[in-house]
Amino acid sequence: MSTIHKSPWLLHYDGSSCNGCDIEVLACTTPVYDVERFGVINTGNPMHADIFLVTGGVNSQNASVVKQIYEQMPEPKVVIAVGTCACTGGIFKECYNIKGGADTVIPVDIYVPGCAARPESIIDGVVKGVALFKEKAAKLAASEKAN
């Protein structure tokens, strides 16, 4: 039985957001929401991360950074865009430097809307992400077996 979904480690990347969503993401780790009860760890290192949490839109300066960090994460991995900006670019969308949401540079699996996204919805997104993570892991294992 695979238990891989019981240990989803997060990497939180802040694009060009207003910091509202970032504070809500951190709020998830506080005693009130305690996301660690799902085995979630907020790691600071893409090499150790399973779930990539992007807040804020992508601009021309950080596009390459987001891409590189995504590449440095080992498979299986899940990307969650948290907040309206990360989903679509939000109110910054028309700015000269903004490319749009996170999905303009990397494939996003789960979108968590809200401005700012509420901790409950973030946790909801993460839990969905964890389910997807398990699915992807199973797929990866199957394809490895096939090889």
Which residues bind to other proteins, rule: CB under 8 A?
2-4, 6-7, 9, 31, 34, 36-39, 41-48, 50, 61-62, 64-66, 68-69, 71-72, 74-76, 137, 140-141
C-alpha neighbours within 13 Å on the C-beta side of residue 61: 5
Q: Which is nearer to other proteins, 5 or 98 (CB)?
A: 5
Q: Which is nearer to other proteins, 37 or 94 (CB)?
A: 37
Q: How far apart are CA 51 and CA 115, in angstroms?
A: 21
On whether the CB atoms of residues 15 and 53 are closer than 8 A, the answer is no
To other proteins, the closest distance from the beta carbon of 16 in angstroms equals 14
Q: Which is nearer to other proteins, 59 or 62 (CB)?
A: 62
To other proteins, the closest distance from the beta carbon of 133 in angstroms equals 10
Q: How far apart are CA 40 and CA 37, in angstroms?
A: 7
Q: How far apart are CA 87 and CA 58, in angstroms?
A: 10
